Structure 1
Amino acid sequence: MNKFFRIFKKVILYTFSILLLLSVAGYIYLYVLPKGSEITATSKINVGIDSFVIHAYKDSERKSIKVWTYKPENWNNKDKIVFVMHGGGRNADDYLNAWVELANKNNLLIIAPEFENKFSRYTTNDYQEGNLFTFFGTKNPKSEWAYTVVENIFDHIKSVNNITNEQYDIFGHSAGGQFVHRMVMLMPESRIGTAIAANSGFYSLPNENLEFPYGIKNTETDLQKSYKKRLIILLGELDNDPSLGTFRTTDLAMEQGAHRLERGTNFYNANKELGNKNNWEFNWAIDTVKNIGHNYKKMSESAIKWIKTNPNNAAIQ
C-alpha cells in the first residue's frame, strides 16, 4: 500500500510539474515574446487596396498588427472613415474586399485591422472579448485592450495622412459583431460615430453579477455612457441556424437564445429595458434584415444605410 501511495504521489507531482511548465511556456509565448508581422515604413495610404503594419500598443513594441485599407480615388480629408472588423476566421483581407464596391459607391475610407492569432480556434479572449483578460484570467492593462488598438490605428492614420476627422464608424460581423458591441459597452469614450454589430454569436449582457464575457462583472462598465453611443444591432432574419459558422453552445450562451437572431433580440431588449428603467438616454437601435442569414457580404451592404444617416457626421452624397 505504501508503495502504491509513493507511486501515486510521484505521478501527481510529475503531472503538476508538466502542467506548470506548459502554463509558463504558454504565458511566455502569448504575452511576453514579440509577435506579429514586421513593422513597415511609415507612409500615406495609397489609393486602392493597401496595407501597413504598426505596433499595436503605444507604450510597447511587443506586438504588431497588420492593417488593410481601401481608399477610393476621390476620398479626401473629412470624408467618412469606416473600420471593418473581421469574423472568427481573422480574414481581414476578405472583409476589406467585401467593402471595396461599397467604398467606391459611397466614398468611404475602409480600415480593416487583422487580429492574427495561430490559436484563434482555441482562444477568443484576444479579439472578440477585447483582450481585457489573459487566457489565464489575469487582467490586462487598458493600453493593451483590443479596443484600444483600434483607437491607436485611428491616431496613426490621422497623423500620417494629415486627416482631421474626429470620429470613425465601425462595422463588425459575427466575431467582429461581438468585438463592436463590447467596445461600445466597455469603451464609450472611443471616437466611434456609428457602431454596427452584425450577427454576433453571443453577447455580454448588462448583468453586473455575471462573469465576463457573458456579463459585465469586474469590467467597470458605465452603461449610462455606453447607451449614449449610437450602436445598431444588425440581425439577419435567416440567421437562425446554429450550425452555420462557429456557434457557442455553453450553458450560459444557450440561456441567451437558441440562435443568433434570438440572442441579438434578447440582448437589445435587455439593454433597452435597463435604459428605460433608469430613464437614461438610449441611442441604440435594432434592425432585422429580411432574407439574409449569416453572410458578412450581405450584412455589409445592409449596414450602409446606418452609416449614411449618422447624425454626427455629414451625410454621404
Structure 2
Amino acid sequence: MRWKPLFRLRRTQRSIAAAFLGMIGTATASAYSGEVLRQMADVDGQRLQVFSYRPKGCASPAILMIFHGNSRTAESYLEAAIPLADRGCFALYAPLFDRDRFPSWAYHRGGVAEDGRLRSEEDWTVDMVDDLLTWARQQEGRPDAPGYLFGHSAGGQFLSRVAAYGMPAGVRRVILANPSTYVLPTRNEDAPYGYGGLAEDEETTGWMRDYLAAPITIYLGERDTGDEDLTMTDAAIRQGRNRLERGELTFAKARDIAKERGWSFNWTLVEARDVGHSARGMLQAEEMTEALGF
C-alpha cells in the first residue's frame, strides 16, 4: 500500500536559535529574522533546487513545505510565507519543479497519467514528496520533525494527488489552496481525478478510505471565482464552474461519501475573506492559522 501510516507528534516549542545543517549555496539578504538559502536536493533520482528559510529564535521548528503554482516561482512563494514562519516557528522549504522536467501532467496531476494513460506507480511524481520531507528533516537534524504541506493553485492540484495516492508519513496537515482540480474519492472518475482505472481491490479501497481520513484542509479564497488559467478538461468542469465552487463541491462530496460508507472524515473547509487567486494573499490571510489546524 502506498499510504504510509501517520504518526502523532507533540507541537514544537520555541527556544534558542540553531544553525541549518548541510547548507549548499549562499544566503541572500532578508528583512526577516532568518536568511533565505538556495540548496540542492537529490530526490528520487532527480536533482531539485530548493529554497529554504529558518527563523531565528526557534530551536525546534516544524517543517512547512511550500509547493508553487504554474508560475514556477518557488522563491517568491517562500518569501510570502516568511511572516508566517517567523510567527509560528516554521522552517520553510520550497522545491522548484521546473517546467521542462515537470510539465502539467507530471506536476499538477502528480505524474499518475500521461495523455490519458496510467503510468507505472514507481514513476509517479507524488512519491517525491516523501523523499523531500526526509531530506528536509535531515537538514533540520530532526528525523521526527512534524511536516505541513501547502500548495497553491497548481501546487494544490499536486498535493491533492499526493494526499490521494502517496501520502508521506508524519504529515500534520495538507493544505490545498485554490487548486483548479481535485482527486475525488470515487471510482466514477478516472485517475488522476479519482480512482477509476486503478485496481478494483481492497488496497485501492484503502487508499480512498485513508484519503478521507487524512488531515486535509481545502483552503479557498472567497473571491477566487475567475477563470484565468483554470483547468477546463471534462473531468475538471464536472467539479464546478470555478475554483471556489470546485473546492466547496469537492468538500461536500467527500464528506457525503465518507458518511455513506461509514468512514472517518478529517477534512476541513476554510475560506479566506476578500482573497482571490493569490498565493501571497492566502499565506498571509488571518485564516491561514485555521487552515493549518491551530
Identity of matched residues, %: 25
2:237 to 230, 246, 254: 254
2:63, 2:145 within 8 Å by CA — same for their partners in 1? no
Distance (whole Å) between structure 2 residues aligned to residue 135 and residue 249 of structure 1? 15
Q: Deviations over 1:189-222 (max 9, x none)?
A: 5331111101111222222132222322234361
Pair 1:92 & 2:74 matched: yes
Displacement of 1:161: 3.5
2:173 to 194, 210, 213: 194
Q: Deviations over 1:153-190 (max 9, x none)?
A: 22123234421434300111111111122211112453
Partner of 2:18: none
Partner of 2:4: none
Distance (whole Å) between structure 2 residues aligned to residue 268 and residue 217 of structure 1? 19
Highest RCO, 1 vs 2 (Cα 8 Å, sep ≥ 6): 2
Partner of 1:232: 217
Partner of 1:241: 226
**TM-score normalised to structure 1 length:** 0.75
Greater Cα offset, 106-115 or 199-208: 199-208
* SS of aligned partner of 2:284: helix
Extract unaligned runs of 5+ from structure 1.
Answer: 1-41, 311-317
Q: 1:239 to 1:139 in 2, by over 3 A?
A: same
Partner of 2:268: 285
Higher helix share: 1
Amino acid at match of 2:230: F
Q: 1:291 to 1:152 in 2, by over 3 A?
A: same
1:111 to 73, 93, 98: 93
Equivalent pairs counted in the alignment come to: 259
RMSD: 2.3
Extract unaligned runs of 5+ from structure 2.
Answer: 1-20, 28-33, 199-203
Amino acid at match of 1:137: R
**TM-score normalised to structure 2 length:** 0.80
1:48, 1:71 within 8 Å by CA — same for their partners in 2? yes
Q: Deviations over 1:17-57 (max 9, x none)?
A: xxxxxxxxxxxxxxxxxxxxxxxxx8248751012112221
Q: 1:307 to 1:273 in 2, by over 3 A?
A: closer
Pair 1:72 & 2:51 matched: no
Distance (whole Å) between structure 1 residues aligned to residue 35 and residue 144 of structure 2? 20
Distance (whole Å) between structure 2 residues aligned to residue 44 and residue 94 of structure 1? 20
Greater Cα offset, 153-162 or 174-183: 153-162
Greater Cα offset, 42-51 or 275-284: 42-51
Partner of 1:126: 106
Q: Deviations over 1:41-76 (max 9, x none)?
A: x8248751012112221xx4xx21111101111232
Partner of 2:150: 171
Q: Deviations over 1:86-125 (max 9, x none)?
A: 00111111101111122112221001011112376xx411
